[in-house]
């Protein structure tokens, strides 16, 4: 549990957490891309070779693709990693 905001943290020690602006930017932009392009969680999961629950966790910001695997959703969406990882402007949004 992240004591600063009482959100569960399912990342490995030293990994990115939901409070990190990179995670917030990625989760929001990835969710927006998927919804805008009418892809289901299952569509994305099958294409990037992860489970639908993993894609859902990415969108919630409770999990994050590893550095080694970040290129896969970027290639699938045609979005550069720099765009996905740019911090959001304004206060972070809470979903869930």
Instruction: Give 84: exposed, middle or buried? Use CB within 10 Å, 0-12, 13-18, 19+.
Output: buried
In CATH, the architecture of 21-85 is Orthogonal Bundle (1.10)
- State the maximum Cα–Cα separation within the chain, in Å, rounded to a whole number: 36
Per-residue pLDDT reduced to its tens digit, 13-60: 445 555 666 677 788 888 888 999 999 999 999 999 999 999 999 888
What Rg, from alpha-carbon coordinates, does the chain have?
Answer: 13
Domain boundaries, the chain: 21-85
* Residue 46, number of CB atoms within 10 A of its CB: 13
Per-residue pLDDT reduced to its tens digit, 55-85: 999 888 888 888 778 888 889 889 888 887 7
Per-residue pLDDT reduced to its tens digit, 78-89: 988 888 777 777
Residues 6+ apart with CB under 8 A from 63: 10, 11, 54, 57
Read off φ and ψ for residue 68, nearest 5 degrees.
Answer: -65, -30
């Amino acid at each position: 549990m992240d004591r600063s905001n009482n959100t569960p943290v399912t990342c490995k020690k030293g990994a990115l957490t939901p409070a990190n602006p990179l995670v917030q930017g990625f989760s929001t932009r990835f969710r927006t891309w998927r919804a805008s392009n009418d892809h289901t969680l299952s569509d994305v999961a099958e294409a990037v070779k992860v489970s639908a629950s993993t894609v859902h966790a990415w969108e919630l910001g409770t999990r994050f693709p590893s550095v080694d695997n970040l290129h896969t959703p970027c290639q699938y969406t045609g979005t550069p990693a720099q765009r996905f990882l740019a911090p959001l402007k304004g206060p972070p949004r809470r979903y869930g």
